[in-house]
Chains A and B, each alone.
Chain A
């Protein structure tokens, strides 16, 4: 990995996240668990870093530390130039406009007592963005950006499918024009066909808005598709971190090798299937 001491962009890079030697130990009675064991990485603006690993590997704890929800024992988490854990509550709250999160559970993360419109607008109200009318316009813009239409704004999350809920959660995350979006298993609970749509949308939104993603997943195939760089976590440590081509072509760490080897690869795709995919892809591209 590269050096981790800089928060400035003197080397021509523009990191949105700098995690610098994060350490955290959880104590349960006499037992100790190293949740974060010298975790360091950077994520450059407009790129995606995937954190992959199994349950308990420290992926979500890393995200929580970056978001300022979990304080590390040592080390720094720097987002958009600010040390997240060295800010006052007020400053942290302001920084939260720049970093948003989308979670796994499509239904659990939306307030069921509110309409979709109110859920998205909530982020704007919390930070006093715009007049009532401006907010309404922005909400309409956002719901269209995530591929739904304005008829959804009056609905309740209970009336939506998992994929639609996840689109709403993404719209809410984008409301404040963040620089960083943390996606914590954000597509894991979705059906295959819905997941494909959401992933395509996330890629497009990243291009359109120059977003930086911290993409947490246990699914290596999804990580490979989404991320520029991939960090593999195991027992609180990043055991391997490289660009995606290198990671899959030449995994160095035995744990990474094991992880890749344990993925069922039994889906041989014949020529006919490939041809059909290409045909549908072309139709899709024509559709815009």
Chain B
């Protein structure tokens, strides 16, 4: 039996509220197999980023994991000691964010930062690390990689920087990659190219990917499976096809309905979320398309 690269069971993340802890991630469970991309879609405050941070234990007080089991590539994440976390982050799981500048030091060259990242995790000489860095930049599709090592972040475009960050994330060959709105800030043509790059790397390295986005169109093209989150809960999950072609939960329907698409009808209002969506969502059962299939077969 193959073990999932990521297993999350009954995860609860809380922040303190006026009347006790508020569950910002409310008892969610999911798995990601190696080589698979799980998309978490949802709007601000739905808990998608906090879910991702949980996998790396990157929460800062007062946000805390209150309950649940998290296993990433065989490691029980919650049982790791603080000093074990550094090796775990990077080697086993890596993350890329929306703003590549936030992941890079503006006063150091790209090469310095890549070499540092490589040498933290592998005992190799500077020269070897530098050669590896060159190869990595080439792998993420950067022209004249050897020259680029001497560039500073401000000398590169947003798309190039995101490639550098991807290269850095890939430097230790992680088993799991978290992409949190990683292509959101990019122009559409650049975004398409960076997604192509990611797709290639995922297949080549057989990584499990947690892909967080509010962009439903990107999610529908890029992800194998989709989880829709709303107010800390997973309200619907299935393959990308199932969720986008046959959405069942009122929140998913509302979300897809209010999306501007190139084929939408003009000269009438865009359908908006029902006003009582919070109530509707709470009452409606969560939809798992895999379970629906089973029921229909019986």
A and B bound? Answer: yes
Known contacts A54-B189, A199-B270, A203-B269; can you find 5 more A-B pairs with CB under 8 A?
A: A162-B44, A196-B260, A218-B187, A264-B221, A280-B254
What's the least CB distance linking B263 to chain A, in Å? 8
CB <8 Å contact, A193 and B43? yes
Q: Given the complex, which residues of A lie within 8 Å of B75, measured CB to CB?
A: none
CB-nearest residue of chain B to A203: B269
Distance A283 CA – B222 CA, assembled complex (angstroms): 33
Which A residues fall within an 8 A CB radius of B? Answer: 54-55, 162, 191-197, 199-200, 203, 218-222, 224-225, 248, 258-260, 262-270, 272-273, 276-277, 280-281, 283-285
Take A220-B262, A224-B266 as given contacts and tell me if A277 and B216 are in contact as well, using a CB distance cutoff of 8 Å: no
| A221-B189 contact, Cβ under 8 Å, with A193-B43, A196-B271, A267-B220 | no
CA distance A219 to B188 in the complex (A): 9
Known: A221-B260, A225-B260, A259-B189. A277 touches B220 (CB 8 A): no
Asked whether B246 lies within 8 Å of A270 as measured between CB atoms, the reply is yes
Q: Which residues of A contact B216 (CB under 8 A)?
A: 192, 267
Given known pairs A264-B217, A268-B244, the reply for A285 and B43 (CB within 8 Å) is no
Contacts of B270 in A (CB 8 A): 196, 199-200, 225
In the bound assembly, the distance between CA atoms of A29 and B248 in angstroms comes to 58
B124 at interface by CB-CB < 8 Å: no
- Residues from chain B with a CB closer than 8 A to the CB of A200 are 269-270, 272
Least distance between B215 CB and chain A CB atoms (Å): 8
The distance in angstroms between the C-alpha atoms of A199 and B264, with both chains bound, is 14
In the complex, what residue of chain A is closest to B43 when comparing beta carbons?
A: A191
Chain B residues near A196 (CB, 8 Å)?
258-260, 270-273
Bound form: Cα–Cα A283–B44 in Å: 26
Query: Contact between A284 and B269 (Cβ–Cβ < 8 Å)?
Result: yes
Which residues of B come within 8 Å of A, CB atoms?
A: 43-44, 158, 187-192, 214-218, 220-222, 240, 244-247, 253-264, 266, 268-274
Contact among A194, A264, A269, A281 for B218, CB-based, below 8 A = A264
B258 lies within 8 A of A195 (CB): yes
Bound CA–CA A55/B189 (angstroms): 11
- Pick the residue among A220, A263, A266, A272 that contacts B246 (CB under 8 A): A272
How many pairs of A and B residues are in contact by the CB < 8 Å rule? 123
Of all chain A residues, which has the CB nearest B253? A276
Does B258 lie within 8 Å of A263, measured CB to CB?
Answer: no
The answer for the CA separation of A221 and B261 in the assembled complex, in Å, is 5
Residues of B within 8 A of A280 (CB): 253-254, 257, 271, 274
Partner of A281, one of B187, B240, B268: B268
Question: A200-B269, A264-B221 are known contacts. Are A221 and B258 too (CB-CB below 8 A)?
Answer: no
A-side contacts of B272, CB under 8 Å:
193, 196-197, 200, 284
Complex Cα–Cα for A272 and B257 (A): 12
Sampled A-B contacts (25; CB under 8 Å)? A54-B187, A54-B188, A54-B189, A192-B214, A193-B43, A193-B255, A197-B272, A200-B269, A221-B262, A222-B260, A224-B260, A224-B262, A225-B270, A248-B262, A259-B188, A262-B192, A264-B192, A264-B215, A266-B244, A276-B253, A276-B257, A277-B253, A280-B257, A281-B269, A284-B272
A55 to B273, CA, bound (A): 30
- Min Cβ gap A22→B in Å is 23
Query: If the complex has contacts A222-B260, A224-B262, A269-B256, are A191 and B44 also in contact, measured as CB distance less than 8 A?
Result: yes
Q: How far is the CA of A283 from the CA of B253 in the complex (A)?
A: 15
Q: How far is the CA of A60 from the CA of B264 in the complex (A)?
A: 27
Cβ contact within 8 Å between B245 and A270: yes
Known: A54-B188, A273-B247. A219 touches B273 (CB 8 A): no
B259 lies within 8 A of A284 (CB):
no
A277 to B274, CA, bound (A): 11
How many angstroms from the CA of A192 to the CA of B272 in the assembled complex? Answer: 9
A240 to chain B, nearest CB (A): 16
Report the 7 A-B pairs with minimum CB-CB distance, sorted nearest first: A196-B258, A54-B187, A266-B220, A266-B221, A191-B43, A264-B217, A221-B260
